[in-house]
Amino acid sequence: MIEVKNLTFAYEKEKPVLHDISFTVKDGERIGLIGANGAGKSTLMKVMLGLLDGEGSVIVEGIPVTQKTLAETRKKLGFVLQNSDNQMFMPKVYDDMAFGLLNYGMNKEETEKKIDEVLSSMHIEYLKDRYNHRISGGEKRMAAIATVLAMEPSALLMDEPTSALDPKNRRMIIQIINDLKQTCIITSHDLDMIMDTCSRVILIDEGRIIKDGPAVEILRDRKLLEAHGMELPLSLSRL
């Protein structure tokens, strides 16, 4: 379970980016974090991960995210960055997947076994020995998710997982997300994807939670979405 309590964050003191954000995520829940550009979605994720220091608290499986517990909480919270190029910094997919595992003390044999297991579960075994700069954007995104999954996090935070992907790769990512057993918090402007993957949606605007509720209810509310700089998902706007 993840608990976010009264989270406030500001880059400059007078201009808070997040205002008193509170919500709870149950185990296995899929949450879509939506909002217009600059609403504070990515910042919220970074504060939750302890990459930015905010006021309030984030508790992951009973452990508060503090400087002292970062190693522990970051193992529980996996983060998939929007730009996979920044996530994949080693020469090969294998090296990237092994990076986190070795850092957390796994030996080489166990690492190899774990990597094979994760790649096979995602049906991307062929990427194992491929060079990061020689794989496509979609493959890189899948590999980036694999690097995080290899660490066996109990929850995944994904920042725009389907941005800049072609329809086929987008569909594959949606499939992968739907197959995940972990708790997921996904930020995206791709509301159709949110509808396909999440059961609950949190709408954020100007750093405040505007609405938190079932995905179907919020994503069908044209007035609410338009009032906060968003539009109905394409699949619904055609109806």
Partner 1 sequence: MNRAQQALYEMKQTDELAMMDSPVHRFSALSKLMVTVIYIVTVMSFSKYDFGGVFMMALYPYLVFQLSGLSFKLCMYRMRYVIPLVAFVGIFNPFIDRTVMFQARFLSVTGGMISFVTLMIKGILCLCAAFLLSGTAPVDEICGALRRLHVPSVFVTVFLLAYRYMSVLMEEVAVMSDAYHLRAPRQKGIAFETWGSFLGQLLLRSMDRAQELYAAMQLRGYDGEFRQTGNTKDRSVSFVWFVVWTAVFLILRFVPVASLIGNLFVRQL
Q: What residues make contact with partner 1 under the rule CB under 8 A?
A: 46, 49, 51, 70-71, 74-75, 78-79, 81, 83, 85-87, 89-92, 94-95, 98-100, 102-104, 108, 111, 131, 133, 147-148, 151
Choose between 95 and 212: whose C-beta lies nearer to partner 1: 95
* DSSP reduced 3-state for 223: helix
What backbone torsions phi and psi does residue 207 show, to the nearest 5 degrees?
75, 10
Q: How far is the CB of 87 from partner 1 (least distance, A)?
A: 5
Is residue 60 classed as helix, strand or coil in its secondary structure? strand
CB of 203 to partner 1, least distance (A): 26
With contact defined as beta carbons under 8 Å apart, do 210 and 203 qualify? yes
| CA angle at 38 for the pair 34 and 40, rounded to the nearest 5° | 60
- Nearer to partner 1 (CB atom), residue 46 or residue 220: 46
Query: What is the DSSP secondary structure assignment for residue 26, as one 8-state letter?
Result: -
Q: 47 — phi, psi (to 5°)?
A: -70, -40
Choice between 70 and 227, CB closer to partner 1: 70
Smallest gap from Cβ 218 to partner 1, in A, equals 29
- Minimum Å gap between C-beta 142 and partner 1 is 16
- Going by C-alpha positions, the residue among 232, 177, 239, 170 that lies closest to residue 34 is 232
Task: Using the minimum distance from each CB to partner 1, give the nearer residue, 101 or 225.
Answer: 101
